[in-house]
Amino acid sequence: MKIRHSNGAKLPPPEYAERHEDSSEENENAVDDNISLGNEDGSDDIIDDDNDEYNDFFIETDDECDDNLFTANVDFDSEWCRENNGSKYDPNFELGMMFSNKKELRDAIHSHAIKNRRSINITKNDKIRVYAKCAAEECEWKLHALKISEECTFQIRKYVAKHTCVLNLYVKNLKSTWLSTKYMSKIRSDPKRNMKGFRTDVMEDIRCIVSKSQIYRAKAKATHLVEGQACEQYALIWDFANEVKRSNPGSTVVIGTNNETDENRFDMLYMCLYASKVGFLSGCRRFIGVDGCHLKGPHGGVLLSAVGIDPNNSNFPIALAVVNNESCETWAGF
């Protein structure tokens, strides 16, 4: 049995709720069916995909490495960064450099493009190889990386580091996802920061043109990474109720659901802490005030509250409830 908010937010059963995120891998158009490997003497060997010698070292398998295993803990300041004085957002490529997975390599390519203000196309992106070339036709910059047999590791096998094109302020590799990752700490520390000033600071930092829509999308993605989506919080509602009852024995927590559809939907929440009950009966005036306010958010709702007056003439919270709308029926239940 699944439970969801009446406006669309899903809730798991009270026994257990587990947050699960699906991530998908970007698809690129594949070009060029051969692999160009650089020899020590500077010449190139063109090795066909059907060559046995190639298949002995670089394998193609149906069991793809799960890039998501590395997504949460990608360490660009690890071995290849320390050895080459690089960082996550300023990588220094070299022949033989190795990356723990394809996603790490692709992120490094995008960071290199933004740092050098040159657009880079990933011309081949499959299970065993990643080819990248400068978007300018006359430019010589290119990078070929291949997957090592029986590993998820990718290694740079050919690299031409020289850019012969001019700088460009409009870099197509600059995406809102990259911005959200780079500036997540700043957005976390000041979530209400003015977007106009934030955009100016970002452009001064990376020296590239950033559109207004990219800044707003970057903030939304960074906020999601820090706080999670609002609908995901409903997955924790049963744990929240159990924790309140455990830490405050005697408290009342009631979760109401709507069973009109095939899947149960969140309908209301009522909570009264035991400490509030005792405090009101022990030291407050025999007066109770009630009020309601609308909740701002993707799912809306109304917050109903009951308060008393303590000896200092201040409001003393007694109970609260979250309902879909303010009506005689909801007030009667409260």
In this predicted structure, the answer to whether residue 161 has a pLDDT above a threshold of 80 is: yes
In this structure, the strands spanning 264-272 and 3-5 are parallel
Two tokens at 130?
């990643």
Q: Is residue 24 part of a domain?
A: no
Give mean pLDDT, residues 302-320. 91
Q: Is residue 30 part of a domain?
A: no
H or E element at residue 4: strand 3-5
Q: Do 78 and 154 fall into the same domain?
A: yes
In this predicted structure, the answer to whether residue 97 has a pLDDT above a threshold of 80 is: yes
Nearest to 75 by CA among 44, 104, 55: 104
Could you list the residue range(s) of the whole structural domain that residue 212 is in? 176-228
Q: Is residue 170 part of a domain?
A: no
Q: What is the pLDDT of residue 193?
A: 87
Q: Do 208 and 256 fall into the same domain?
A: no
Residue 307 pLDDT class (50, 70, 90 cuts): very high
Last residue of a domain, one of 209, 228, 247: 228
Q: Do 41 and 152 fall into the same domain?
A: yes
Q: Is residue 20 part of a domain?
A: no
More confident residue, 179 or 265: 179
Q: What is the pLDDT of residue 52?
A: 37
Q: What is the pLDDT of residue 20?
A: 35
Q: Is residue 166 part of a domain?
A: no
Residue 158 pLDDT class (50, 70, 90 cuts): very high
Q: Do 219 and 243 fall into the same domain?
A: no
Q: Is residue 140 part of a domain?
A: yes
Distance CA 317, CA 276 (A): 7
Last residue of a domain, one of 130, 160, 190: 160
Q: What is the pLDDT of residue 234?
A: 79
Q: Do 50 and 156 fall into the same domain?
A: yes
Q: What is the pLDDT of residue 286?
A: 86
Q: How many domains does the chain have?
A: 3
Q: Which pTM does this prediction carry?
A: 0.56
Q: Is residue 51 part of a domain?
A: yes
Least confident segment among 74-83, 162-171, 181-190 = 74-83
Give mean pLDDT, residues 163-187. 91
Last residue of a domain, one of 213, 228, 243: 228
Q: Do 51 and 151 fall into the same domain?
A: yes
Q: What is the pLDDT of residue 34?
A: 35
Q: What is the pLDDT of residue 69?
A: 34
Q: What is the DSSP string of 150-207?
A: TSS-EEEEEEE----SPP-S--TT--HHHHHHHTHHHHHH-TT--HHHHHHHHHHHH-
Two tokens at 302?
């109304």
In this predicted structure, the answer to whether residue 30 has a pLDDT above a threshold of 50 is: no
Q: What is the biggest distance separating any 2 CA atoms in the chain, rounded to whole angstroms?
A: 93
In this predicted structure, the answer to whether residue 174 has a pLDDT above a threshold of 90 is: yes
Percentage of the chain beyond pLDDT 70 is 73
What is the tens place of the pLDDT at every residue in 237-287? 888 999 999 999 999 999 888 776 667 678 889 999 999 999 999 888 888
Q: Is residue 22 part of a domain?
A: no
Tokens 């977007």, residue located: 195
What is the tens place of the pLDDT at every residue in 192-209? 888 999 999 999 999 999
Beta bridge partners of 306: 290, 319
Residue 8 pLDDT class (50, 70, 90 cuts): very low
Q: Do 40 and 151 fall into the same domain?
A: yes
What is the tens place of the pLDDT at every residue in 140-157? 999 999 999 888 999 999
Q: Do 222 and 241 fall into the same domain?
A: no
Q: What is the pLDDT of residue 261?
A: 66
Nearest to 295 by CA among 315, 266, 258, 318: 266
Distance CA 259, CA 5 (A): 11
HSE, CB side, 13 Å, CA atoms: give it for residue 20: 7
Q: Do 145 and 194 fall into the same domain?
A: no
Q: Do 72 and 117 fall into the same domain?
A: yes
Q: Do 190 and 214 fall into the same domain?
A: yes
Give mean pLDDT, residues 162-182. 91
Least confident segment among 55-69, 99-113, 292-306 = 55-69
Q: Do 95 and 200 fall into the same domain?
A: no
